[in-house]
Amino acid sequence: MPGIKHVVGVAAYRLRVTWRARLPGYVAFVLLIALLGGVAMGAVAGARRTQSSFPGYLASTNPSDMQFFTGFAQITGDGYSPRVARAIARIPHVKHEVDTIGFDGNLQVLGNPIGRAIPGAAPPAVEGSLNGAYLAQDRVTVVRGRTARPTRDGEFVMSEGGAAQLGLHIGSTLPVAFFTNAQVSSPTYAGYPTDQPYLLIRLRLVGIVESSSQIVEDDDAALQNQFAVITPALTRRLVTCCAYYSYADVQLEGGLRHEAAVLDAAKRVLPNLGPAVGRQTYGPVIAKAERALRPTSIAFGTFGVIAFLAALLICGQVIGRLVRRDSEDAAVLRALGAGPSTTIGDACVGLFGAIVLGSALAGVVAVGLSPLAPIGAVRSVYPHRGISFDWAVLGLGFGCLVVALASAAVVMSYRGAPHRSARPEGDVERHSSLGAAAASSGLPPAAVTGIRSALGAQTGRDAAPVRSAVLGAILAVVVVVTSVTFGLSLRSLVSHPSLYGWNWDYALLSGFSGQEDLPAAQTTSLLAHDHAVARFAGIYLLTMRIDGQGVPALATTPNAAVGPRLLTGHGLHSSNEVVLGPATLAQLHKHVGDIVGANTGGPSPIHLRIVGTATLPTIKGSGEFLQMGTGAVVSSTLFPDVALNFQGSPIPGPNAVLISIRSGVKSSVALRSLDRITQTLNQPSNPDAPVGGVVSNLRPAEIANYGSVGSTPIVLAGVLTAGAVAALGIALVASVRRRRQEFALLKIFGFTRRQLAATVSWQASVCAAVGVILGVPLGVVLGRWLWTLFARGIWAVPDPTVSPLSILFVVLGALLFANLVAAIPGRVAARTPAAILLQGE
């Protein structure tokens, strides 16, 4: 048995003298590995980059560790106190402190803004700082325009939502009147022009900005996060007289390790605010952002895994073709006395080099695709866009490609080695039953020949690479159908609010996006007599504790006429039951049917039975945020009156009313009717104007930001499809080259050029047809599975959508595209000279 040195020497010599003949096949093989493997690695790396994008962006803003509410003019007399700020800065473990000072309670926007009014929205916050908030610490990101110059008191920047609400654009000016705390607190205060403002100024909008609290937000939260930032120069002019509230943003030594001690010290510094001191960290913001980004990352990463499997399958077929191409040379080597190791080494040496080179180029392609990530809401503010090297993915992907493809090359070379071949010399062709049926069906000779070429199981050097062509067609169809199914399901989710918890047509919100109270009796009477309203239910938005964990709650009446969309179990039938969001159910480590302990602020804990799970709406109210998967639906009778009337309204009632419209009633008619109810409730007889307005749906962050994903998935799917189509084209070209003698013989027997080209077209059409027959159901199944995975990741209702019309377009497109790909090989086949047959002989 020859040694390794001998085997390598023979293989190297053979590669050196035959490289010209082998080069085209190896080049195509390298390019396929680079394209398909690069897409796979690029998708996985993009998924990782997307999932980690928010923490990366947040770090670039120099974030605070904690934030304290330090001043409120209506409680403390002054909205900002330098003494309190200095005291906070001197607390042990506080490394750095900046102040955020708000003025929106002491200003009046003049003129008639032309922007859109948002029902129930809180007024835009107008804030500034003396020592670096928004500029040096918790920096805002300018997405259009520029940063306001700190020394100019006539410039400001604003969020996208705030600018839209006021009808502003870059360069617009906004006249604003600022009033002192003494003026605002006066019982005779009437605002401009009755009262003379402390400062009347025209502010110029120079930039549109986003803050870290806005990047991944729900529609409802976006109502609360319309803000403007004025310059330190203007803040300095207003801080002593017109500050409405203030926050202290602090960075701590060692992060949040000393959080509890710092919070206790801050409460001692701020005794007048009592429990209102509170504190905020970026923990909930990060958790929400990662939760919103996770489904996209999962889907993106799953696409990468599918692309990797596709790369292995397609490249494996190409390896088989290259091994069969050299089968006659291997037989000659065997006849000259070469052993199995020598023939296998001869087949593998060139393949190994192509595999290593192609895998390395796949890493280059992945790096080239990296600027497409991150995708999603963070992309517009991500500080490190551009080329990215994910060495973990690149290294693992390179290793997996090399090991898997090299192993496939060894196995196929061993199986095709001459010493294992029991067949006689020459090519043996076995026609499929479909090919025989085509021959007996009366089809034209070109069609019969093309069908046999596409479906016949062929072996030998001159055999056409049938399986490569068919597999390429199947994969192309699978990828397209999967993408179409996923995309249509996403569109269905966005266009059907019931799938993300908004299982009604409209909601009548109390003031400040549902944080106040609606007058119960009057609201019920007006809705009950409205002919456009079919059903309605009042809800309270509160917070409760379940098994010791804080949980946002939607409190309603058992068997309410309107409620969230159920996922499992049944709805609320009695006051001793609870319906949970699936994420809350998982956090509690419970199952439907279990008993949980609950505390709703009453004198003693109560026990509730979990009767179902539901996709919950995103509404804030006075409690914590409900999310699609987070929260509880419970009976409002479990809460004490003080919890149900948190604002102390003289006419208490629910925070919001959920409304379903009668079938057949136009949305414009329903809205006009509900607007009249709003105007009635907000008459002067109700001095608190309790109704914020009517909203059609409030989308969660996972839905509100779906458009920011952009075309990246389509680009990657297109590249993968291009790889599969390229495999089909390569297979057809190789088929034509291998069958030149057959084409020459057909020409001698009377085939015209058109018939030879038609033969290749039929072969491509049959490959596409097989791809459609097998690829469409596989693509539908895969697309539905991916969508279900995505929907469950965000706790939406998993309701995948399949469009027969779209599938029909894919089928027709596959047949058309296959024939377009076959055009060039068909022309080559048509030009095959009859003399080739004599050369072969």
What does the pLDDT look like over 151-175, one tens digit per residue?
A: 999 999 998 878 887 888 999 999 9
| Predicted pLDDT at 418 | 58
| Predicted pLDDT at 336 | 54
| Predicted pLDDT at 340 | 63
Mean pLDDT lowest among 110-119, 297-306, 654-663: 110-119
Mean pLDDT lowest among 22-31, 149-158, 239-248, 592-601: 22-31
Check residue 252 and give left, alpha or beta (phi > 0: left; psi -120 to 50: alpha): beta
- In this model, does residue 634 exceed pLDDT 60? yes
- In this model, does residue 451 exceed pLDDT 50? yes
| Predicted pLDDT at 424 | 46
Q: Are 64 and 137 in contact (CB under 8 A)?
A: yes
- Position 3 confidence tier, pLDDT thresholds 50, 70, 90: low
Q: From CA 608, how far away is CA 573, in angstroms rounded? A: 12
Question: DSSP class of residue 400?
Answer: H
| Predicted pLDDT at 335 | 59
Copy the structure tokens of residue 200.
């009347």
| Predicted pLDDT at 425 | 43
Cβ partners under 8 Å of residue 186, min gap 6 = none
- In this model, does residue 224 exceed pLDDT 60? no
DSSP H stretches of helix in 532-599: 582-587
Q: From CA 227, how far away is CA 158, in angstroms rounded? A: 6
- In this model, does residue 178 exceed pLDDT 60? yes
Q: Are 402 and 359 in contact (CB under 8 A)?
A: yes
| Predicted pLDDT at 115 | 44
What is the number of other CB atoms lying within 10 angstroms of the CB of residue 23? 12
Copy the structure tokens of residue 125.
């916050």
| Predicted pLDDT at 121 | 45
- Position 490 confidence tier, pLDDT thresholds 50, 70, 90: confident
Query: What are 71's strand-pairing partners?
Result: 246
| Predicted pLDDT at 328 | 63
From the list 703, 667, 791, the residue with the least C-alpha distance to 221 is: 703
Mean pLDDT of all residues in 388-406 = 92
| Predicted pLDDT at 376 | 75
Between 325 and 785, name the one with better pLDDT. 785
Which residue bears the tokens 């993106």? 300
Sign of the Cα pseudo-torsion (414, 417, 419, 423, in order): positive
3-state helix, strand, coil in the chain (%, to 5): 55, 15, 30
Predicted TM-score of the model (pTM): 0.68
| Predicted pLDDT at 818 | 76
| Predicted pLDDT at 273 | 52
| Predicted pLDDT at 426 | 43
Which residue bears the tokens 């003693």? 604
- Position 760 confidence tier, pLDDT thresholds 50, 70, 90: confident
Average of per-residue pLDDT values in the chain: 80
Between 245 and 751, name the one with better pLDDT. 245
- In this model, does residue 7 exceed pLDDT 60? no
What is the number of other CB atoms lying within 10 angstroms of the CB of residue 616? 33
455 SS3 class: helix
- In this model, does residue 279 exceed pLDDT 80? no
Mean pLDDT of all residues in 748-772 = 80
Mean pLDDT lowest among 97-101, 350-354, 556-560: 350-354
Mean pLDDT of all residues in 190-195 = 81
- Position 746 confidence tier, pLDDT thresholds 50, 70, 90: confident
Cβ partners under 8 Å of residue 25, min gap 6 = 321, 322, 325, 734
Mean pLDDT of all residues in 438-454 = 72
- In this model, does residue 416 exceed pLDDT 50? yes
- In this model, does residue 46 exceed pLDDT 60? yes
Q: One-letter amino acid identity for 123?
A: P
Check residue 800 and give left, alpha or beta (phi > 0: left; psi -120 to 50: alpha): beta
What is the number of other CB atoms lying within 10 angstroms of the CB of residue 531? 10
- In this model, does residue 32 exceed pLDDT 70? yes
Q: From CA 370, how far away is CA 42, in angstroms rounded? A: 6
- In this model, does residue 384 exceed pLDDT 90? no
Instruction: State pLDDT tens for residues 784-834.
Output: 988 888 788 778 888 888 888 888 888 888 788 777 777 777 777 777 776
From the list 827, 468, 508, the residue with the least C-alpha distance to 679 is: 508
Between 255 and 513, name the one with better pLDDT. 255
- In this model, does residue 838 exceed pLDDT 60? no
- In this model, does residue 360 exceed pLDDT 50? yes
Mean pLDDT of all residues in 673-678 = 87
Q: Above pLDDT 70, what percent of the chain?
A: 77
- Position 218 confidence tier, pLDDT thresholds 50, 70, 90: low
Q: Are 402 and 315 in contact (CB under 8 A)?
A: no
| Predicted pLDDT at 841 | 47
Between 320 and 737, name the one with better pLDDT. 320
Q: Above pLDDT 90, what percent of the chain?
A: 25
- Sort 214 into a burial class: Cβ within 10 Å, 0-12 / 13-18 / 19+: buried
Between 622 and 520, name the one with better pLDDT. 520
| Predicted pLDDT at 432 | 58
What DSSP element (H or E) covers 183?
helix 181-185
DSSP H stretches of helix in 340-390: 340-369
Which of 4-13, 24-33, 285-294, 424-433 ranks highest by mean pLDDT?
A: 24-33
Cβ partners under 8 Å of residue 82, min gap 6 = none
Tell me how far apart the terminal alpha carbons of the chain are, to the nearest angstrom: 36
